[in-house]
Every structure is written in C-alpha cells, then in structure tokens.
Chains A and B, each alone.
Chain A
Amino acid sequence: MVAENQSKSLGITLRVWRQAGPSQPGRFVEYQSKDLNPNMSFLEMLDVVNDELTRKGEEPIAFAHDCREGICGTCSCTINGKPHGPGKGVATCQVYMRSFRDGDVVTVEPFRAAAFPVIKDLVVDRSAFDRIQQAGGFITARAGSAPDANALPVPKPDADLAMDAATCIGCGACVAACKNASAMLFVAAKVGHLGLLPQGQAERERRVLAMVGVMDAEGFGNCTNQYECSAACPKLISHDFIARMNRDYFAASLKAAVKPVSLGGSGGA
C-alpha cells in the first residue's frame, strides 16, 4: 500500500461556505491554502487556515469537530459535493490532505437539509436527531431494576447484527447525501439495533411508530430507495435496515389500527 500522494507539500484553493448566522445569506469565499503536509488531516488544514485568518483579524471559519477519530459524529462537512468527502467509510475528520493533488480546487459546504438549519458557516443544527431519539429510541429500564445480564441470552448473529446497526455515530451524512433529505438510515439503524434484541421487544411497535412520526414531523423527506445514504455513511450502515424498519412499521401500524388498547390505570392505594 502506498500513499495516494507522496509529495512533500501541496497547495489547494478552498471554496468555503461562509454564513454569519441562521437567517443571514451565505456565499462561497475563496482561500489559498499553501505548504500543506500531505499527512495533515483535512480539519488540521482548516485549523491552519483559521489561525492565518485570525492573525489577519478576520473571523475564522466555524466548523464542527470534537474527537477527530471518526466516532463522535460531530464533524460534518460536504467536501466537493460529498458528505464527509472522497473516502469510503470515513468521517470528515478522517480525511487526509494526501487525498488531494497540488492545485486542486476544493469546495467545502455544511451538510445541507431543511431539517438541519445552518447555525454558522459549516456548522448545522442536528437537534432533530435528538428529538427522534427522545420519541422512542430507547428501552425503558430504570437503574436498579435489571435482571442478571446472562439471564437473557442473545443469539450471537442477532447480537452482531444489532451491533452493526448500533455503530451509527449520528452524524447526519445519510440525510445530507439523500436528494430527499431523508433520515431513514439513521432511524432504521436505531430501530434495527433495539428491535433485534430480546430486550427491545416490549417496546418494538411503539418505538418504530413514535420515531417515524417525529422523523416526519421534523421535516425529513421520504425514502425513494436510492441508497446514497449507505454510500456516504462513515460506518457503512447497510440500507437493509431500512427494509427491516419498513416491515416493522407496517406491522406496527396495522396492529395499532385493529388492536384494542388497554385504558391502563396505574393508580393504587
């Protein structure tokens, strides 16, 4: 294996989306970024650009980041039209300058979707994802009430598949990659993770109905099975989970329509 770019140093022209605030208009601004070490990460390149801007007394480019190792899901740039950039199965923070050539023009935008309004420059508001989780992305189990962990065996294939889905980092690249700005892959990953486990059965129907309901209310679009989402996903989460969720959803909707519901009554002396 050799590096994609072995040169000692490179320079690129950046076209960066600058937008002062949610209700301000945005535009592309060009910056020259020179003498870059190919081993720099893309975000380190932005750090350097920002330090130069600051020294000139200009406002640095706001961009989201934290772990810088592909696990927190904070970073969220669309690079040359691709959410998280050119690589497969990586997040923005895992893009290195060696994937560009000297003299390249590189366009950097925020993740675009109606449900992800721009906060500033490259930073978007993804709190809609939190609200979807709050609607049903959980198993209700209060601390202290759990049985012994080995009391409920989970077949290994189910546990492994659940883990595949659970690796979602909540970045939103799937939404940004979809021409309908659908959040199906994100929601399906959580529904799949919890629905595959025996622990998740009690709330399985409620969960899928509630999460899909909030997803629609938040203004995400419909899924038209183009699967751009999986291709952009840094964790390569399979679109099979979407089909699985659709089955769950229809089954749960049917049941909700015909099943008598207990009126409950949790009072007591």
Chain B
Amino acid sequence: MATLDSRIPSGPLADKWRKHKTEIKLVNPANKRKYEIIVVGAGLAGASAASTLADLGYKVKNFVFHDSPRRAHSIAAQGGINAAKNYQNDGDSVYRLFYDPLKGGDYRAREANVHRLAEVSVNIIDQCAALGVPFAREYGGLLANRSFGGAQVSRTFYARGQTGQQLLLGAYSSLSRTVGAGLVELHSHSEMLDLVVVNGHAKGIIVRNLVTGEITRHSADAVILATGGYGNVYNLSTYARGSNCTAIMRAYRRGACLANPCYTQIHPTCIPVSGDYQSKLTLMSESLRNDGRIWAPKNPADRLKAPNEIAEQDRDYFLERLYPSFGNLCPRDVASRAAKRACDDGRGVGESGLGVYLDFADAIKRLGENGVRERYGNLFDIYHEITAESAYKTPMRIYPAVHYTMGGLWVDYNLMSNVPGLFVLGEANFSDHGANRLGASALMQGLADGYFVIPYTIGDYLAGQKPGSRPSADGAEFKAAEDSVRGQTSRFLSTKGKEPVSHFHKRLGKIMWEYCGMARTKESLETALQKIPALREEFRANVNVPGSAETLNQSLEQAGRVADFIDLGELLCRDALTREESCGGHFREEHQHPDGECKRDDEKFAHVAAWEFQGEGKTPLRNVEPLNYEFVKMSVRNYK
C-alpha cells in the first residue's frame, strides 16, 4: 500500500505557502549544477519549469515528442488565464480566486493547493508581460480583462482568442534562451517510454528517438513529468491528436499512484461528429451561450427536417424549460447532460443524430446580423470553415465533447508523487481542480507549477540526495526498463494482424463515450469493464503495425499510445464505478438530486482515490487520501 502524505503545511491558509517556502530545504548555488533534472514535456508546465530550473543553475534535459517544443497542446488554448490582480477594482482577491475554483471543483480539491495557485497567479501575469506576451490592452496601455464562467469578477487575461498560444510562445522563448545558452539540453522528437526507478527513487527515463528509432537511457537526480492530459482515451476530443497518456501510465506501472482518473470534463458546445472518419472535435467558445438559444425538435420524426421547417411550437428549448432561472447559461456539465438526454430520446439533429441546435435567430432579430458579427464573427467563421454552413442563416449544430482531464498522477504539496524524485506538473497531475475545472484556470496552473512552485519544492528533495550520487545509466534497472521497451516494440511489429491501430482507438473511444461519458451507471461501467479487456486481447492479437523500428514510424508510436489508453480507460471506469456519488464532471445517474444536479456523498467520498498498480492482470489497489476542509464548508454547489 502506497504512503500518501500530502505534506500540507500547518497554520492559517494564507500563510501556508510562505511558511513552507521558508522551511523547506535549499540547495546551495554552487551545488545546483551538480544535479541533473529531466523534464518531460514542454507545454506551459514543462517549458516554464525547464527554463526556470536552468536559470537557477540546475542541469536540465528536456524531452518532447513534438518536433519542436513550441507545438505542445497548450498552444491551442483559447479563452484566457485567471489572476487575482483586481485591476478592474471589482472586488477580486486571492481569497475569491481560491474560493471559486474550489467550489467549481465541487469540493474535491485540496484547499492548500488551490490557495497557493491563487496566490502565485499575480506573479504569472507579471512574468508573462515581462516576456513580451502581447496581452489585450486598453487604450491607456494597461491590461484588459474579460469575464469567464463560474466567477462574478472580471479577472481573465487574454490575447485575442489565442491566449494559450501566446503564453506558450512566451515560455518557449525562455526555454529557447536557456537552450541557446547551453543550460538546457533539448531533445525534440523524443518520446519517453519508461520511467526508471532505482532503490525506490525515480532516477531516469528510457526514450525513443521518433526519427531514427534509437532507444536511449538517461539518468538524473530527479524526473519531472509535464506531459499533459489523457482526454484522448475517448479518441474524439478537443485535444491535439498527439496528446497521450503514455508517460503517466508508464510511471503508474512503476509505482506512481494515479488519482481520480474518473474526473473528466465534457464541454457542451463543440462541433458535432460528422462521420466515422472524424479525427478531431473543435471547441466553440462558451461565450456563444450568452446569445444563442439551445433547442432540439420535440418530435423525433422532425430530427432530419431543415430547422426552419420546424415550427416554433414543435421546438423544445430544453435548457430554458429544465432550468428556467439559468436557462442557456447553466453550468457546463448540466448543459452537456441535457443535450445528451435529448439525443438519447431520438431527437438529436444532423445525420448522426448526435447534435442539438444553437440558434441565433432571436439574437439577430435583437442585435441585427452585424451586431452578432461584431460579438462572434470569428467563431461563426470557424464554424463555416468546418461545416460549410452559415450560422447567420441556419442554427449551429453543437454537441458536447471531451475537453480536459482533472485526474492525473497523485502528487503531494511539493508536486512530488509517491515515488520519491518523481514530480508531476500541469494537466498531468491531479492536484488543483477537484472534480471539475473552471475556465481559464488550467493555463494558470501549468505556469504556476513551472515558474513558481517547482523551483522551490524540488530543492527540498534534492537537498537530501548527495551531489553526484545519481546512478549510472548502465545499471540493472536501466537495462531492464530498456529491455521492456524493446520487447513491446518488437511485439507490435511482429503481430501482423489485420487492423490498423486507429481501429482499436476508435472502438475504445466508443466504449468510453457510451459507457463512461457524460452520465455513468453501475451497469454501464460494469459493461465497459468487460468490453475493455476484450478489446485489449483483440488489440494484442490483431493489430497491424507495418514498417520498422529504425525510422519514423507513426503506426508504431500510435500502437504504444493506444495500448496505454486501453489500460487507462479500464482504470478510469474502475474509478468511476467505485466512486458511488456524483461530483463535478463525474455524474452517476444513481446519485442525483431531483433537479438533476450532482449529489455528492461527503461522508463516504470526501477523499482522493489514488490507484496503485499491482501487476499485470491484477486488480489495482485503491488508496485513499482524505480531504480535510479546515477553512471552507463543503456545501451543495448551486449556480441558480
């Protein structure tokens, strides 16, 4: 059984981080260059960590599977990043930026972590502005803000609709500076395929060069994973196609606990699936729900009719009907589930039957076409580019899609996993968002972890490791890990089955979406837990991975990733089955209030579930970290 010591400092909430920083151990500047740190990933979390640690004097090696660190999935984030600057003078404070995500996460995150996030949020904006991130500005030259869901203040900083891109390019510029100065050794096109644990400590990784196929060993004094979220376990999602869970799953197999995998976020307004060939779902900003009205036909027979042929009295504005006080602006999870129910009733629109309308006809009547264009023109353009339909003339079709994963590797307050020396940052860890993430807070968390948390907390671990004590990569553990990677590669190449990897990924996605998607039941999860192992068997017997291991081989890359998705999918369903409550993004139909809201069970489930690998084919162990709320009262989340 793993030891899960959260190491939350004692004392008043607002003093914990300051106190912790003064109490944890430091590494003396002259010793820093004797320590080598591996950072896997160069999204917001990884790039900010790698450059900051290098500036502190540590030797850093950075690995990314992308051809350039600038292409990490963080680049795609649109809306913005929160910070408790209170530049708008509208009453924001660190406490409010602590309270909102804690509540938004349905009281399933640690108070101390979330408070620290709110505290350092202000430094993030300063840092990014100093790096030349071109944030939106007012005419006076000062920074502009916009509002975002789940908050009553205007605290979101943004760079047009490309905030993630600009923040990532800022972090990438510092990473580039440190690479250019020889402080960081950059390995792009390099995929980590195993974690090496020596005497219980994480001391290295095994890497495959995706261009040459070469497999190499790398030893270090500490390993940081900043490898992003696992939403592609559903195959179709708003994630980049390459986003995967291989790094965290290989670490899990080496003993790191995986926490709360069932906390997944499904965003209500995405462009629906149009056919079996579909590879990607595109997000349509939540802001559209300010002026668009969501409806489905009342009568299943109408579902293929052109929308303008469906009379007003035959339309069901279901959000307005079900949630009269919040209407179209009800929370993400509620809106998503309502749309799903309409489609389950056979009333979904479009060829696939998986879609509802987001209608701007009233808004156009009220504001005029130009008024609507001013507010949402770029989104209407994106919609047109993908669907070839004009949302000025006919309602948009939308459907919920997987968008973010709150679960991830378990970490303590220092962001260290239960495997000493293994740190996990950004979306890859589980720590700050509880059971649901509020908009504009993932970017904040990634940069908080990399710029302002890990630079302090990693010293606490390294100070206890003798300089120069890192094991040689020739050791037995490194060899065993390398052999296991080579073994998997040759198994994939020699299976010579009938189906491409994509076939299995699609099927896994369908199982996950159908049985463990927006609404879950005991039966559906048990069904998934039968189907997934069967799929695994079929995958092992019948996958076809052409080509060789010595060149760029995208099928081979995919095979490894899908194998890990299958394992993660099973674990996710198991976690969802054992969490007999509804909270945030995890909705168990058995546990709901009469109005369809999540019904938490704080008595039994106010805890983190951290799963521990027990060996191939064995049921993993469910460890528990209780969530002690010292400062805030857990209450029923209510946005009405």
User: In the complex, which residues 63-114 of chain B have their Cβ closer than 8 Å to any Cβ of chain A?
Assistant: 66-71, 73, 75-76, 85, 87
Question: A167 an interface residue at 8 Å Cβ cutoff?
Answer: yes
B555 touches A72 (CB 8 A): no
- Check if A153 sits within 8 Å of B142, measured CB to CB: yes
Give, as a whole number of angstroms, the nearest-CB distance from B509 to chain A: 14
Whether B552 pairs with A120 at a CB distance below 8 angstroms is yes
Given contacts A44-B279, A69-B282, contact A74 B129 (CB under 8 A): no
Count A-side interface residues using an 8 Å CB cutoff: 83
Bound-state Cα–Cα, A51 to B386, Å: 23
CA A163 to CA B179, docked complex, whole Å: 25
Q: In the assembled complex, which residues on chain A have CB atoms less than 8 Å from the CB atom of B554?
A: 60, 62
Q: Using a CB-CB cutoff of 8 Å, which residues 120-159 of chain A contact chain B?
A: 120, 123, 125-127, 129-130, 133-150, 152-156, 159
Contact A133 B176 (CB under 8 A): yes
How far, in angstroms, from A72 to B69 measured CA to CA in the complex?
10
Whether a CB of chain A sits under 8 angstroms from the CB of B162 is yes
Distance, CA A68 to CA B75, complexed state (A):
12
Binds A, one of B6-14, B131-139, B216-224, B632-640: B131-139
Bound complex: CA A51 to CA B176 (Å): 37
Chain A proximity of B9: nearest CB distance (Å): 21
A85, CB-defined interface residue at 8 Å: no
Bound-state Cα–Cα, A137 to B75, Å:
17
Is A47 in the interface zone, CB < 8 Å from B? yes
| CA A200 to CA B166, docked complex, whole Å | 15
Q: Is the CB of A193 within 8 A of B134?
A: yes
Q: Does A64 contact B (CB under 8 A)?
A: yes
Closest to A36 in B: B277
Residues of B within 8 A of A197 (CB): 132, 134
Docked Cα-Cα span, A194 to B139, in Å, equals 20
Bound-complex Cα distance A4 to B388 (A)? 8
State the Cβ distance, A139 to closest chain B Cβ, in Å. Answer: 5
A156 touches B188 (CB 8 A): no
Q: Does A54 contact B (CB under 8 A)?
A: yes
For residue B476, CB closer than 8 A to chain A, the reply is: no
B123: CB under 8 A from chain A? yes
| Residues of chain B within 8 A of A127, CB atoms compared | 67-68, 188
Shortest Cβ distance from A136 into B: residue: B180
- Whether the Cβ atoms of B67 and A125 lie closer than 8 Å is yes
Q: Which residues of chain B are within 8 angstroms of A138 by Cβ–Cβ distance? A: 131, 173-174, 176-177
Asked whether any CB of chain A lies closer than 8 Å to the CB of B125, the reply is: yes
Evaluate whether A3 and B127 lie within 8 angstroms (CB atoms) in the complex, with A54-B546, A71-B162, A193-B134 already known: no
Query: Which residues of A lie under 8 Å from residue B179 when comparing CB positions?
Result: 130, 134
**Using Cβ atoms and an 8 Å threshold, which residues of chain A touch B628?**
none
Q: Is the interface of A mostly helix, strand, loop or mixed?
A: loop
CA distance A150 to B278 in the complex (A): 44
| Complex Cα–Cα for A156 and B498 (A) | 58
Report chain A residues within 8 Å CB of B496.
57
Q: Tell me the complex Cα distance, A149–B552, Å.
A: 44
A98 lies within 8 A of B159 (CB): no
Total number of B residues with any Cβ neighbor in A under 8 Å: 84
**A149 engages B85 (CB within 8 Å):** yes
Contact with A along B33-61 (1 / 0, CB 8 A): 00000000000000010011001000000
Q: Known A55-B500, A96-B386; judge A139-B137 contact (CB<8 A).
A: no
Interchain CA distance A195-B393 in the complex, whole Å: 43
Are B132 and A193 in contact, with the CB atoms below 8 A?
yes
Tell me which of B68, B85, B135, B274 contacts A159 (CB under 8 A): B135
A199 to B327, CA, bound (A): 45
| Residues of B contacting A237 in the complex (Cβ-Cβ under 8 angstroms) | none
Interface 1/0s, chain B 125-167, versus A by CB < 8 A? 1111111101111111111000000000000000110100110
B141 to A153, Cβ gap below 8 A? yes
Say whether A59 faces chain B, with CB atoms less than 8 Å apart: yes
B75 A67 Cβ-Cβ under 8 A: yes
> What residues of A have a CB within 8 angstroms of the CB of B177 in the complex?
134, 138, 140
B502 cross-chain contacts in A, Cβ below 8 A: 47, 51
Contact B132 A57 (CB under 8 A): no
- Which of A3, A47, A159 interacts with B388 by CB under 8 Å? A3
Task: Tell whether B200 is near chain A: CB-to-CB under 8 Å.
Answer: no
Segment 86-106 of A: residues with Cβ below 8 Å from B = 90, 94, 96, 98
Once the chains bind, are B127 and A141 in contact (CB under 8 Å)?
A: yes
Using A65-B241, A193-B132, A200-B132 as known contacts, say yes or no to A47 and B280 having CB atoms under 8 A apart. Answer: no
Interface status of B26 (Cβ within 8 A of chain A): no
Of the residues A44, A129, A143, A162, contact of B277 by C-beta under 8 Å: A44
A252 at the interface (CB under 8 A from B): no
* B413 lies within 8 A of chain A by Cβ: no
A55, B544: Cβ atoms closer than 8 Å: yes
A108 smallest CB distance to B (angstroms): 16
Q: Say whether A141 contacts B67, CB under 8 Å.
A: no
Q: How far, in whole Å, are A48 and B467 apart by their CA atoms in the complex?
A: 53
**A71-B165, A150-B143, A153-B142 known; A55 vs B176 contact (CB < 8 Å):** no
With an 8 A cutoff between CB atoms, is A263 at the interface?
A: no
State how many angstroms separate the Cβ of B535 from the closest Cβ of chain A: 17
Interface digits, B168-211 against A, CB 8 Å rule (1 contact, 0 not)? 01001110110110000010100000000000000000000001
The reply to whether B274 and A39 form a contact with Cβ atoms under 8 Å apart is: yes
Task: Report Cα–Cα, A156/B499, bound state, in Å.
Answer: 55
Do B137 and A144 touch (CB < 8 A)? Answer: no
Verify B176–A123 contact, CB threshold 8 A: no
- Asked if A54 and B555 make an inter-chain contact with CB atoms under 8 angstroms apart, the answer reads yes
B451 and A143 contacting across the interface, CB-CB below 8 Å = yes
Known contacts A134-B179, A194-B132; is-contact A60 B555 (Cβ 8 Å): yes
A180 within 8 A of B: no
Least CB separation from A124: chain B residue: B67
| A134 and B165 alpha carbons, distance in the complex (Å) | 18
- Contact indicator B499/A146 (Cβ below 8 Å): no
B173 and A149 form a contact (CB under 8 A): no
User: Cβ of B388: which chain A residues have Cβ within 8 Å of it?
Assistant: 1-4, 38-39, 96, 98
B544 CB, min distance to chain A CBs, angstroms: 5
Inter-chain contact A149/B55, CB cutoff 8 Å? no
Are the CB atoms of A1 and B384 closer together than 8 Å? yes
- In the complex, what residues of B have CB within 8 A of residue A230's CB? none
Cα distance, A170 to B69, chains bound together (Å): 11
If the complex has contacts A43-B279, A73-B71, A129-B68, are A143 and B85 also in contact, measured as CB distance less than 8 A? no
A interface footprint on B230-249 (CB within 8 Å = 1, 0 otherwise): 00000000001110000000
Q: A50 on the interface (CB 8 Å rule)?
A: yes
Q: Which B residues touch A47, using CB under 8 A?
A: 277, 279, 502
B387 contacts chain A at the CB level, 8 A cutoff: yes
Q: Are B547 and A130 in contact (CB under 8 A)?
A: no
- Chain A residues lying within 8 Å of B166, measured Cβ to Cβ, are 163, 166
Those of B275-307 within 8 Å (CB) of chain A: 275, 277-280, 282
The residue that B180 contacts in the complex, of A48, A58, A134, A139, with Cβ under 8 A, is A134
Q: Kindly state whether residue B551 has any CB partner on chain A within 8 Å.
A: yes
Q: Taking the complex as formed, is A41 at the interface, i.e. its CB lies under 8 A from any CB of chain B?
A: yes
* Inter-chain contact A94/B385, CB cutoff 8 Å: yes
B551 in contact with A163 (CB, 8 Å): no
Contact with A147, one of B130, B169, B174, B393 (Cβ below 8 angstroms): B130
Q: How far is the CA of A127 from the CA of B71 in the complex (A)?
A: 12
Please give 7 more A-B residue pairs, beta carbons under 8 A apart, in addition to A51-B500, A125-B211. A67-B71, A74-B71, A126-B68, A149-B125, A153-B137, A163-B160, A194-B132
Using a CB–CB distance below 8 Å, which chain A residues touch chain B?
Answer: 1-4, 20-21, 37-41, 43-45, 47-48, 50-51, 53-55, 57-60, 62, 64-69, 71-74, 90, 94, 96, 98, 119-120, 123, 125-127, 129-130, 133-150, 152-156, 159, 162-163, 166-167, 169-170, 193-194, 197, 199-200
27 A-B residue pairings within 8 Å (CB atoms): A39-B386, A39-B388, A47-B502, A51-B502, A57-B546, A67-B76, A69-B76, A71-B75, A72-B71, A119-B211, A130-B188, A134-B176, A138-B174, A139-B132, A141-B131, A142-B52, A143-B455, A144-B452, A154-B137, A156-B139, A156-B141, A163-B159, A166-B134, A166-B169, A170-B68, A170-B71, A197-B132
